[in-house]
Amino acid sequence: MAHTILITNDDGIDAPGISALVQGLHDAGYRVVVCAPDRERSASTMHLTLHKKMKLRRRNDILKFYRLMEGNPKIDLFDISGYPADSVLTALSGGLPSNIPKPSLCISGINRGPNMSVDVLHSGTIGGARQAGTCGIPSLATSLDSFEQNDYSNALRATLELVENICSIIPESPVNFGREGGSSTKPEGESNEQILRNAFILGDVYLNLNVPVGWEDAFSSTHLGGRWYRGAIEIVGDDSIDRDEWDIQLGAARIEDEPIENGDSHCVRLGFASVSTLGTWPQGHPLAIADELLATTSSGEGLPSWLIVDQ
């Protein structure tokens, strides 16, 4: 039995990044289940739709756009009139048909645009992956470092390589699905690498991948870097002080990336695919991973050491 992979995103089910990911995973032989927003929901963090009904739809109409390989596991496609976190909760909490298998791994992406540094506080892509972690599922957020580029081949290649490593350490059937043991189920191990590996399997840490457009195969294990959006608000039209209301546009006149050693945004600027190990839980939560342990995951060159099983 192949690993089953749940896919979501915040760009919507019709976005080219999620289409590339679905096709690539299917070609690689994975069982794919998609539950994603029915439209773009960028910068939605872990937004949940609590006070109104949502519509869940099976999207067999989209299957015709994929090259389905005979003998490979099937693809199930669903969209929801909600957000990435809604999509993940729906898929993991009984919202999908009963014949849909439990996922071994959740992937959120491939996102149009990076999710690095302070971006993780706002990103719906990150929110989807983190929501899966809170439900006890190993998870990965993946993004292309461009808003203009529609060629996702390098980001897909990096994602598939990372997924291959991930699936070498996680079981096909999730061991902490639904977190029935609550905060008593904690990662254990005889080394930092074993503890972190088990934390990923339990959903207490997740991975954040960012791939530069011109990626040439090298990974870098990173931590969150220093990225600053300058001139974030633009007043549209007349900005006279005598007015009582204004149209404003949220964006950034320029972006500054600090050259911080092993910082994610800096490493992507240097041409590396950045792989950061992030904690699912906030500081102070009983399942939060110690900062000292997370600090061991950003060694620079290559994938995080805890992800490599044969060293």
Secondary structure (3-state) at 87: helix
How many percent of the chain have pLDDT more than 70?
Answer: 97
Q: Which residue has the higher pLDDT, 203 or 247?
A: 203
Nearest Cα to Cα of residue 104 among 25, 172, 159, 166: 172
231: pLDDT strictly greater than 90: no
Tokens describing residue 225? 């870097």
Tokens describing residue 263? 């910082």
pTM of the full structure:
0.95
> Where do we find the tokens 């580029």?
149
- Which region, left, alpha or beta, applies to residue 93 given φ > 0 means left and ψ of -120 to 50 means alpha? alpha
> Where do we find the tokens 């439990």?
102
103: pLDDT strictly greater than 60: yes
Confidence class of residue 251 from pLDDT cuts 50, 70 and 90?
confident
Average pLDDT over residues 246-254: 80
- CA distance linking residue 148 with residue 11, whole number of Å: 14
CA distances in angstroms from 238 to 134, 185, 234, 257, listed in the order given? 46, 58, 11, 32
Average pLDDT over the chain, rounded to whole? 94
Domain parsing of the chain, residue ranges: 4-224+260-307, 229-257
What pLDDT does 5 receive? 98
What pLDDT does 240 receive? 65
- CA distance linking residue 276 with residue 297, whole number of Å: 8
Phi, psi at 247, each rounded to 5° = -95, 130
What pLDDT does 310 receive? 67
Average pLDDT over residues 127-152: 97
Pairing verdict, β 4-8 and 56-58: unpaired
What pLDDT does 239 receive? 63
The architecture (CATH level 2) of 4-224+260-307 comes to 3-Layer(aba) Sandwich (3.40)
Average pLDDT over residues 149-173: 97
25: pLDDT strictly greater than 80: yes
Average pLDDT over residues 202-211: 98
Phi, psi at 35, each rounded to 5° = -135, 105
- CA distance linking residue 116 with residue 77, whole number of Å: 28
What pLDDT does 311 receive? 47
Q: Find the farthest-apart pair of alpha carbons in the chain and give their distance in angstroms, rounded.
A: 69
